[in-house]
Amino acid sequence: MDEFGYMTADTVSRQVKEAVIRAIEEINQKRFDFEAKQKVVDYKKEEDFVTSADISAQHIYTQIFKESFPDYGIIGEEDNLRKEPGELGLWFTVDPLDGTKAFIRKQSHGVATMVALVKNKEIIGVWIGDVFTKELYYYRPKSDKVHRLINYKFPQRLGILVKKPLKNQVVVLRTHPRNYSKVIERMTLPGELFKDINIDSGSIGTMFGRLWKGEVGALILQEGKATPWDRTPIIGISKKLGFQFLSRKKDDFIVFNPDISMEMIEMDEHIVVHEKNVPDVIDWFREFKKVNKKF
């Protein structure tokens, strides 16, 4: 048995990619004919929901993964899905339908399905499918290349090649800046550190896709509980593409590495920017502190 359990890295990737495509098609089939019900979870302050599309998509993943990867662990969003990893130390995270509220609202954007493969604490593969555009963002095990696959056929390698100042770029938030700290509220005023803001409350996967494509320059996330199925895929691709996670500590912003585990964790309010733009954030905050002692 080799490190993937009688499989090559390419075989693993093909199997997972096929599962993601099947999940995308299943969710699309249920787009206008589904059942939804409220659920109670301890990691969200607001109300949460699950639909028959979530359940069907997760069933596709569990069926394929249990048959093709019997030694691998799985942690998933619905029905308390958890299977501990075997001796290979490999495990999947599964978010069958990321952006359930957007799906229920019958939006044409902001819905995804996400999978990550972890070996111990290293994210060795990620596959994120935009349900409605049918784009895939992924990298396979043993590869440093991240691709965007369009209509399941046309691959485009992703990468940030040119530094563009944050003052010329848009920052995306999950909610209005007034719901963040006073520093972030000030930082996101048009013309301060960024050109302007967008608010994106759908799938966190498609939101990060905007960052990876270079459509926006930064993301800012609130503090709170982070689930393994939400955070693992976005951390994996972000790090592969050279993006950094910055959190405010005392009188500065510092780069930190989010924890990779099957457990839920508490995340501080943080900014995600490309490593080339980290100095922009730090320099802005240091100048801001000189004239705003109360912060």
The pair phi, psi for residue 77, each rounded to 5°, is -75, -40
What is the architecture, at CATH level 2, of domain 9-157? 2-Layer Sandwich (3.30)
Domain boundaries, the chain: 9-157, 166-291
For the chain, the first-to-last Cα distance in angstroms comes to 56
**Closest by alpha carbon to 270, among 256, 284, 259?**
256
Cα 172 from Cα 176, distance rounded (Å): 10
What CATH topology corresponds to 166-291? D-Maltodextrin-Binding Protein; domain 2 (3.40.190)
DSSP H/E element including 194: none
| Per-residue pLDDT of the chain in tens (295 residues, 90 and over written 9) | 578 888 899 999 999 999 999 999 999 999 988 888 887 665 565 667 889 999 999 999 999 999 999 999 999 988 888 999 999 999 999 999 999 999 999 999 999 999 999 998 999 999 999 999 999 999 999 999 999 999 888 889 998 767 789 999 999 999 999 999 999 999 999 999 999 999 998 899 999 999 999 999 999 999 999 999 999 999 999 999 999 999 988 778 999 999 999 999 999 999 999 999 999 999 999 898 888 866 6
CA dihedral sign, ordered 150, 152, 156, 159: positive
